[in-house]
Structure formats: structure tokens, C-alpha cells
Amino acid sequence: MARSSRSLPSKWRYCHPSYYLKRPKRLALLFIVFVCSTLVVWDRQTLVREHEVEVNKLNAEVSQLQTLLEELKIAQGGTVGKIDFSGQTIKSDKEVPDDPIDNQRREKVKEAMFHAWTSYEKYAWGQDELQPQSKNGVNSFGGLGATLIDSLDTLYIMGLNEQFQKAREWVETSLDFNKDYEASVFETTIRVVGGLLSAYDLSGDKLFLNKAREIADRLLPAWDTPTGIPYNIINLAHGRAHNPSWTGGESILADSGTEQLEFIVLSQRTGDPKYQQKVENVIIQLNKTFPDDGLLPIYIDPRSGATAYSPITFGAMGDSFYEYLLKVWIQGNKTPAVKHYRDMWEKSMKGLLSLIKRSTPSSFTYICEKNGGSLSDKMDELACFAPGMVALGSSGFGRDDSRKFLSLAEELAWTCYNFYQSTPTKLAGENYFFHPGQDMSVGTSWNILRPETVESLFYLWRLTGNKTYQEWGWNIFQAFEKNSRIESGYVGLKDVNTGVKDNMMQSFFLAETLKYLYLLFSPSSVIPLDEWVFNTEAHPLRIVTRNENKPKPNEKDKAFNKMLRGRKEGRSG
């Protein structure tokens, strides 16, 4: 029912039709439109002025919430989503839309993977690695199809379905482990066992699980030593295990302490505890005499368990032992059953702090190597996995230590990025030396397409949300495109100063480098860190809660695999 113009506020009476009853209709209508629209604008301006204080208050509250979010990211390990006002944190990977620039960059990385894969497919199909310049394959790992198996999960994650299915057919019909070949237990585990298990966890296809079990059974005799610390070399056909002659009969720390993740996962997926028991016994043995600083020399006697006088390093032959102490704890969902792994890792982080130095004049933070009681101012590019590892583990500390270790991770990542920026090709050498007053200089100057720095940038991006790490990663990718891409694949450099190319496309370029670059520009819902953990070859494995030592298959696993099969059918290439 229309209100009388007299009952309206004085300024609004001009908007009522009765006011214009005695005036020409056209004039009346024009006045109605003009006066009412003017009054609406006046009222809006008045409302803005009246609520200016409230808006400022809300902006202050938003700022406080952003600060709270950053703290929660550190405390929760990464993917914090929206917060409701009941005080609960709601994790979500869907509320942030995909950035158009990220999407473009991700597609560029996907195209690089397609180029690398099709080159391998054309010139080295079924062999371990491609030699792009001579356009032929080479069996550097006994003819196990290392590049193909290493690439399975990358193809799946990128949605390259046709390529994934063709690779699967090769695994089913042509993958043969009965090789009279002296295989590295470490390399075979991280590439082949890890690659097959990851393909299984992603696709739910039991072919991959059965093949993983088959090769693991051929590796198991390596653990038949007096201490259970494995020999590092085994003949795949005959099961004879030994250590390389150049170690003087000793086992290598990283080679002996980097099978835990894969073999524990294999026991969980199959329900057979023997794999888990073999590898966890190694940690039990090492923990008996584990030093307070958590730093072990790179050589260990498999007969006595004693550590030999040898270097301590987070680079070659030491690196992934420390990585797996953290990641087994994460893969077990951080329960008491895996707490001893975390305890050992925290001791190792205490030791890491004792190896930290800063260069002059630019104050680059770096990790020294230790020989006896003296520190060597040398850092491998391999050690550039450490910033990502430290960032990933920082949330398990108390608040102050969490911030301290995250800050250390960021400082180390800056150094590793400068390994790349300091050379004419913008690609990093194999190792660097630090000199007083001169910062860093490249030592061994080759680049073999390694992933470690990009890996750390991926973790830091996921855990902090700082887009700087994406920019650094993009710069590294562009340097690979400029210097390493050729018509028949990707090659390393013999010298990062001159840009002279080598003739090898390492399998880990497809397994790790390109995968971490792709994920660096993907939403955090793609392989979220609270559901998956990466092995040291960047093969994602599903996190499963560990409440007891004996692994058992359960209905949740079956439902998960059913869901994955449905997901696989719905993916687009």
C-alpha cells in the first residue's frame, strides 16, 4: 500500500507521485527521476561517511587475521585455508583461484615434459636414459627402464594420459628384473621401487604394486649382514650383495638409510611386514650409538655398525639419510610409533646448526662439510635439498624454534638460488667454495639437470606463500630452456661458465626437476603436503597413520584406491 507523502521524511516527499498530481505529467516524471536519483547518491555518500570508522576497524581486523594466518601456516605446516569465528581452522585448497600467470607457466613446464618424454620415446624407449645429442639410449641402471618408471607419476600428475598408458603397457609386457647386473640398492629403490609405488598410490593400479614387490624381493638379500645394515650393491639375477671396492668394504650412509620410506610403504600396501622390518632395523642399529649432534660420517661398517673416520656432509653420500628421518615421521602421520625418527632428526638439525657459516661480504648462509674437527667451506648443490627439508620440518618445533629454522631455510634457499645466478649461464655448478671477502665460487662446474634447489623452492612456496620462490623457479626453468633444450631432448652442461653441452638426459630431470617446477605453479590441492610425502626421487607416497609396527591393509585403503581409479578415468590429457 502506498505511503502518503506527508508521512515521508521531508526530503523524500518529492519522490512521491502525489506531489506532482497538479503538474504536467512529463515534467513530473523528469523530476521524479532526477530528484530520486540525486537523493540516492546523497544517501550513499552519507552512509559511507557514517560507516568510515567501522570500515577502518574492519581493515585492522583483516590485517590481524592475515598475521594470524601466517602464524598458523608455520604451526600447521603449510596449507592453511579460511578461518571460521568459532576458533577452528578449516583446511582448504580450493578457495584461492588459479593465477593466470601460474597457469601459463605450468603449461610451459608441461610442454617441456612432453618434449623430454617424446624424445625419450623416439630415441631410447625402454632403455634407462636418453643420450640426446647422439640420439640413442643407454642402460645406466641395468636396463630397468629407469626414465620410463621415473616418469610414471609425473605423466599422471600432469594429465598426460596417453603417454602414461603407453608406459604402463611397457611395464606390464616388457619390464624384466632378471638381470645379471650389479645394481645400486639405493638407486634401484628410490627410482624403481619408489616410482612404481607412487604410480600405484596415484592410479590404484595393482600392476605397479606387484612390480614394486617383485623388484624389492630381489633387493632384500642386501640386508643379510651381521648388523642388518645393508650392502649397497646387489646382483639382481643371483642375489649376491657386496659393497663397492672404493669404499674399502664400508656401507655408505645415504645408500643404507634411504630405503625406509619405500619399504615401509610397500609393507603397508601389501600387508607383508618383512620389508618394513628390514629397513627399520637399520635405524634401530644406528640409533644405539647416535651422537648428540645427530651427525654421522658417510661410511659405516655393516659387520659391526661402527662409523668409520670419514667426512660428515649434507651433500653427496650423506644427504638423504637426514631427509628420510623426517619423512618417515611425516609418512607415519607423526604418531608415537614414528616419534624416534623425529627425535633423531631434531638431533641432526642441532648438528646442522654447527655446520652453518656465512660468507663475506654478502653474508650468504651455507652448510660446511666436516672432516674430523675441522670445517671445510664447501657446499654441494646436492645439499640444496636442505632448505626444503628444514622448512618442511620446522612446524614440528615449538614456536621460537619453528621460526628460527624456517628463517634458516629461507637464507639457505637464497644461497642456492645464487648458485644459479652467479654463473654466465644462470645454471648452477655441482659444488661451490666460499672464500673470505669473495663470497662463493664454482668448484666442479658441470650441471646435470639436478632438482635440489627447485625442490626447496617448491616447499618454501607451499609453506610460506611467498611468490618470490615462484619467480626464482621460473628464472631457473628459463635457464634450462635456454641452455639445455635441444631438438632431441634436454642435456646437461659440461661447464656452466662456457655453456658447453654434454650428452645425457638424466632420468631425475623428468622425475624431479620438471615435476617440482610443475607443482611450483600448481594449486596446493595438487599433491597436498598433508596427504602426501615425496621420496628423495620426488615420487609422492600417501601418508598413512602408524599406530603399531605391523602394517595391515584396511577398508580405508580400499576405498582410497577405488576413488583414485575413478579420478584416473576422469582426467583429461
117, amino acid identity:
W
Chain center to CA of 572: 23
Segments of 350-448 assigned E as strands: 356-358, 365-367, 369-371, 374-376, 378-380, 431-435, 439-442
Name the helix (H) or strand (E) containing 387: helix 386-394
Strands of the 378-380 sheet, one edge to the other: 378-380, 431-435, 439-442
Taking CA atoms, 376 is separated from 312, 356, 366, 367, in Å, by 10, 11, 11, 9
- Distance, in Å, from the CA atom of 97 to the CA atom of 99, rounded to the nearest integer, reads 6
The reply to whether 411 belongs to the active site is no
Number of C-beta neighbours around residue 547 at 10 A = 10
- Distance, in Å, from the CA atom of 15 to the CA atom of 31, rounded to the nearest integer, reads 8
Length of the chain: 573
Which of 255, 346, 430, 439 is labelled catalytic? Answer: 430
The reply to whether 107 belongs to the active site is no
- Least Cα distance to 447 among 420, 411, 478 occurs for 420
State the DSSP code for 223.
Answer: G
Grid cell at residue 566: 575413478
- Distance, in Å, from the CA atom of 391 to the CA atom of 410, rounded to the nearest integer, reads 8
State the DSSP code for 547.
Answer: S
- Distance, in Å, from the CA atom of 154 to the CA atom of 41, rounded to the nearest integer, reads 57
Backbone angles phi, psi at 47, to 5 degrees: -60, -40
Number of C-beta neighbours around residue 140 at 10 A = 17
Residue reference for cell 592453511: 80
Which of 128, 187, 255, 381 is labelled catalytic? Answer: 187
- Distance, in Å, from the CA atom of 177 to the CA atom of 184, rounded to the nearest integer, reads 13
- Least Cα distance to 112 among 449, 480, 446, 452 occurs for 480
The reply to whether 187 belongs to the active site is yes
368, amino acid identity:
C
Residue reference for cell 612456496: 461
Kindly give, in sequence order, each residue whose CB lies less than 8 Å from that of residue 184, ignoring residues fewer than 6 positions away.
Answer: 141, 232, 233, 255
- Least Cα distance to 408 among 441, 364, 439, 375 occurs for 364
Which of 262, 319, 455, 502 is labelled catalytic? Answer: 319
- Least Cα distance to 385 among 126, 190, 244 occurs for 190
Which of 150, 439, 452, 455 is labelled catalytic? Answer: 452
Grid cell at residue 496: 656452466
Beta bridge partners of 137: 130
The reply to whether 259 belongs to the active site is no
- Distance, in Å, from the CA atom of 253 to the CA atom of 541, rounded to the nearest integer, reads 23
Q: Please list the active-site residues.
A: 187, 319, 430, 452
